[in-house]
Amino acid sequence: MSFFGFGQTAEIDIVLSDAETRKKAEHKTEDGKKDKYFLFYDGETVSGKVNVTLKTPGKRLEHNGIKIEFVGQIELYYDRGNHHEFVSLVKDLARPGELSQSQTFDFEFTHVEKPYESYTGQNVKLRYFLRATISRRLNDISKEMDIVVQTLCTYPEVNSSIKMEVGIEDCLHIEFEYNKSKYHLRDVIVGKIYFLLVRIKIKHMEIDIIKRETTGTGPSVYHENDTIAKYEIMDGAPVRGESIPIRLFLAGYELTPTMRDINKKFSVRYYLNLVLIDEEERRYFKQQEITLWRKGDIVRSMSQQATIATQRYEGSNSASAQAKEESN
């Protein structure tokens, strides 16, 4: 409802031009539920129609302009009044005037930069949305439509293995090794644990995947640790010289790519945490950061398109240079 008891005189509907064919992706909302949204990648065009339907046929709607915006913004939950926009594009659909009947307006945001992945966390939310607005003297009429953006990567050029040691002098010496330090979201962590010296009675060992969300800067930094997965390595006492293999499948867990210093507002990092518990319930930890990334076939096709575009550009430049030489 609008001010002074008057209801809205028009309804707005946003329809994407490729709504019937575009893929949807599940995304968690603030209340923890999952909804499906249209999926986009960096550099893709966002286009469609804005339908303005007058609720009372024959009654004119005066307005101060109609526009649509494409917005990427970060909201920190402890600072809800401030929305930090890192993408803000506007298209004017109609100049100030009046509508005498329902009308449809086309829009297109070409090759939109979407630098970050959509994210909903414990203390922060990064979202992309379209917002259509009918500006009026007393009360605007607006409609928002969220989309989901995923960032894709190619295989990392350098992906070294992880080797670490856990030791308590004259009591315990364990070496563990993981096959690499960077994993895609459907990867398998493969590793091995070697018991070189065991003089304390270990009764349980596990590997945890911990997600650490960091928001804010300086004195206003908040850390939220969330244990995403627990993988039991052994239940019982190991002996010297024993080795235990590890195979941890990531596809079954809710993971996002590693996000470092996103717009200087937040980070999301992942750690492998080795936990040992002895018979006296003492706990020993060793933690190692890993990098998670999202892979997709679309990267290959997009890079091909970029290569073709570069070739065309270089070809046109060489052709123009040749023509210039001939004219001289």
Which CATH class for the 162-293 domain? mainly beta
Residue 297 pLDDT: 58
249, 190 Cβ separation under 8 angstroms: no
Secondary structure of residue 279 in the 3-state scheme: coil
To the question of domain 10-149 being in CATH 2.60.40.640, the answer is yes
Between the alpha carbon of residue 77 and those of residues 123, 220, 222, 231, 264, the distances in Å are 5, 13, 11, 32, 16
Residue 318 pLDDT: 45
Whether the pTM exceeds 0.85: the reply is no
> Which stretch of DSSP H or E encloses residue 312?
helix 298-327
Residue 7 pLDDT: 55
Averages of pLDDT over runs of 10 residues in the chain (328 residues) are: 54 95 92 91 96 86 95 90 92 93 95 96 95 92 96 85 79 85 94 81 87 88 92 76 88 94 95 86 86 74 42 43 48
Residue 174 pLDDT: 82
DSSP string, 67-113: EEEEEEEEEEGGGTT-EEEEEEEEEEEE-SEEESS-EEEEEEETT--
Residue 317 pLDDT: 45
Cα 155 from chain centroid (whole Å): 18
Q: b vs e for 141-171, b when ≥16 Cβ sit within 10 Å of the residue's Cβ?
A: bebebebbbbbbeeeeeeeeebeeeeeeeee
Evaluate whether 10-149 and 162-293 have a shared fold: yes
Domains of the chain by residue range: 10-149, 162-293
